[in-house]
Amino acid sequence: MQCGQPSVYRAQGLPTHLGGFCRPGVVPAAPQSAPTVVPPEPAALVAPVAVPRQAAPAAGPVAAPRRPGSSRPAVGSSSRARKAPVKTVAKAEGPSDWEAAAAARFPAGPLAVLDVASSGKALVAYLADGTPAPTAPGGRTLADVVEWALEVKLGSPRLHRHGKDGDALVVLTDAALAELGLPPLGRDEKAEFVQRLGQLPKNHKAVKALEQAGWLLTQRGLGSWARIYRTPEDGKRVCVQLCIPAWGALASGGWQIPDGLAVPGLARLLGTYATRVLTPRGSTAVSGLELVTALRPPTRAVRTEAGWTSGPVEGSRPKDGFDPAPPEVQDVHPLAQDREPGGELVTEAWDWHRELIDQEAAAPYAVGLDVNMDFLAAAGRLALPLSEPVHELNPAFDKRIPDSWLVDLSHVATDPLLPSPFTADSSRPTGPAWYSTVKLAYALELGAQVRPLEGWLRHEHGPYLDPWHKRLRAAYLDTMAALDVPLDLADRDPLAFLDAMAALKATGDPAELAVLTAIKQTAKGTIGKFRERPRGHGYKPGERWAALERPTWDPLMRALVIDTATINFHRKLRRMAGDTGLHAFAVLSDCAVFAAPGPGALDVLTKPDGTLTTSLRLGVSPGMVKFEGSRPMPEVLEMIADGANPARHMKAGGLVSADE
């Protein structure tokens, strides 16, 4: 039924189609009288309606001019037009076999929010689109809830053909929590859930009841985010995840759930995030890291003469991971204990400001511009390490290899009115120091000579985060479109874009705004997880900690993303100065402040000829800029006199932006 051909695979002697490993053959044409069986679209029953990104209105085919001497036909010519229908037909065929098979396994959608019915006599479940599920758990125990989630087939399809399907997520409201006999949040360890402990005691009756029903808990136990599973049989994973807001699951970690949100609204909010990003698995940072692995699984099934075995996936990092180079780790890492002082590769986002020159101080306003999702924009197509580092002395610099290098860049001259792109504190380098490939490539771009003294080289590398970047970018743009800020609005009408962004928090749907915040925090939190420090009391420097065992723990990946964002920003600020004559006098991460004749973004972005600069391009897409805020120049001068960075206080009320 899946491909029209006998399967080449066997399970216990019987022909079996193995999902994504089905090898379709040529399907014979069916007689015209034969009925056509159209499989249902189960995912559409519960998936939230995603607002598509809006493109610019079509103006009809336009032929692109050819370069002189070129023999290639222009776009829209007959030879190119003959190929267009082929692309259209291929795109209309829909998902591939493995994608369709994966989606069909979960007709109920990724999650359900469990509440008590209005009658008070039964439980009711709301699916990812906010509608009630046809059935609800019939029993009144946690084991009944887990069994129900598996029976109705909650879960999410894999995002990669060699990946794993997502576990079902069940969210328990306060009322459902009490109905199931679970304790509320408090301080009494015997009768309440104590957040400091992170889980119920192992001898709690709820934990014992799960064990008696044949279920197991991970080492994290029964906490605000819990995983309940059974020992896999025949390689089949059986697992359900719990989210308990009453125990603080959604109170922090990048989640900002609107106050007073009804239960169906909560289901739709989390369902929208699950559809656009990933089914939540903890904090937004944890979910982001899980998204990386879901899109880049480390292993795949490989058939050999001896049977099935595990093999690597091209473009992914190895399952067992590898340690980074000594200069790249923080001072508590085991590899840093014998490191000489000053031998660390230091990479942090900018926090810089300077004294204003006379012309700037005479301007009436200071205007801040903020880069949208700068770390996410930096991760696209960025070459990242896929193998362990190899130490070399006096290596030849290669800008294609993502490595760390010991180089003296003190001779590189940059614009004194802008921060130095090479140091964490934005000051000029004073001698040899460790830098990532990104910064040395930029030094070459500025005309400097780069002669490394040492290097830790990765001979295997690739755009590891590119799928993660694409999915989060699409999620961000879809959410902005749902908030009535489409992708092309700034190009069509800059003033309308600025007005829409200014009114976003006042008029936007609170649930979509919460999804937007979660997506932003997912992007930033993921980058932070690449260099996660030890947590908990009793840790001693030099000991290994749990995060080091993850294949995604690599501080060089974090450094390369941050450095790319910094270099991209510095390059734009240089072009901005050339286009408009304006230099940023304060920068905080992705926010730059300029002296301006007026209080608006267009007072900074308008060139002398009256057109808008594209150095800092106004728009919603990651990497483009939006208006951060403005202040009268006398206030800004007082901040600088007090040693404060004005970029930290450009929003009304002096608050730091939530995504800084």
Q: Which strand (E) or helix (H) includes residue 100?
A: helix 97-104
Q: Report the pLDDT value the prediction gives residue 32, as an integer from 0 to 100.
A: 39
For 615-640, what is the mean pLDDT? 97
In a domain, 529, yes or no: no
For residue 247 the two structure tokens come to 């125990």
In a domain, 235, yes or no: yes
The yes-or-no verdict on residue 418 having pLDDT over 90 is: yes
For residue 268, what are the domain limits? 100-276
State the burial class of residue 418 (Cβ atoms within 10 Å of its Cβ: 0-12, 13-18, 19+).
Answer: buried
In a domain, 316, yes or no: no
For the chain, give percent helix, strand, coil, nearest 5.
Answer: 30, 15, 50
Range with lowest mean pLDDT among 23-27, 401-405, 430-434, 464-468: 23-27
Residues 6+ apart with CB under 8 A from 542: 332, 334, 337
Q: Report the pLDDT value the prediction gives residue 94, as an integer from 0 to 100.
A: 59
Residue carrying structure tokens 């058939």: 303
The yes-or-no verdict on residue 167 having pLDDT over 70 is: yes
Per DSSP, the residues of 384-451 read: EE-S--EEEESPPP-TTS--EEEEE-TT----TTS--SSSTTSPPP-SEEEEEHHHHHHHHHTT----
Q: What is the pLDDT of residues 15-58, one digit of tens each?
A: 555 544 444 433 333 333 333 333 333 333 333 434 344 444 33
Q: Report the pLDDT value the prediction gives residue 17, as an integer from 0 to 100.
A: 56
Integer Cα distance of 407 and 431 in angstroms: 8
**Residue 334 phi, psi (nearest 5):** -55, -35
Q: What is the pLDDT of residues 559-569, one digit of tens each?
A: 999 999 999 99
If one compares 573 and 79, the residue with the highest pLDDT of the two is 573
For 318-339, what is the mean pLDDT? 95
Residue carrying structure tokens 């998936």: 47
In a domain, 69, yes or no: no
Range with lowest mean pLDDT among 73-77, 355-359, 523-527, 639-643: 73-77
pLDDT band at 61 (very low <50, low <70, confident <90, very high): very low
The yes-or-no verdict on residue 3 having pLDDT over 70 is: no
State the burial class of residue 424 (Cβ atoms within 10 Å of its Cβ: 0-12, 13-18, 19+).
Answer: middle
Q: Report the pLDDT value the prediction gives residue 537, as an integer from 0 to 100.
A: 80
Q: Report the pLDDT value the prediction gives residue 276, as an integer from 0 to 100.
A: 98
For residue 476 the two structure tokens come to 């961000």
For 271-292, what is the mean pLDDT? 98
Amino acid making up residue 132: P
In a domain, 161, yes or no: yes
pLDDT band at 4 (very low <50, low <70, confident <90, very high): low
Structural domain total, the chain: 1
Q: What is the pLDDT of residues 125-161, one digit of tens each?
A: 999 999 999 999 988 899 999 999 999 999 999 999 9
The yes-or-no verdict on residue 641 having pLDDT over 70 is: yes
Q: What is the pLDDT of residues 347-386, one digit of tens each?
A: 999 999 999 999 999 999 999 999 999 999 999 999 999 9
Q: Report the pLDDT value the prediction gives residue 79, as an integer from 0 to 100.
A: 34
For 582-610, what is the mean pLDDT? 96
In a domain, 491, yes or no: no
Q: Report the pLDDT value the prediction gives residue 14, as an integer from 0 to 100.
A: 54
CB 236 within 8 A of CB 155: no
Average pLDDT, the chain: 86
Residue percentage of the chain with pLDDT more than 70: 84
The yes-or-no verdict on residue 300 having pLDDT over 80 is: yes
Q: Report the pLDDT value the prediction gives residue 347, as an integer from 0 to 100.
A: 93
Q: Report the pLDDT value the prediction gives residue 6, as an integer from 0 to 100.
A: 59
Q: Tell me the C-alpha to C-alpha distance, in Å, between residue 572 and each of 505, 556, 610, 660.
A: 28, 24, 19, 19
In a domain, 172, yes or no: yes
The yes-or-no verdict on residue 576 having pLDDT over 50 is: yes
CB 369 within 8 A of CB 427: no
In a domain, 127, yes or no: yes
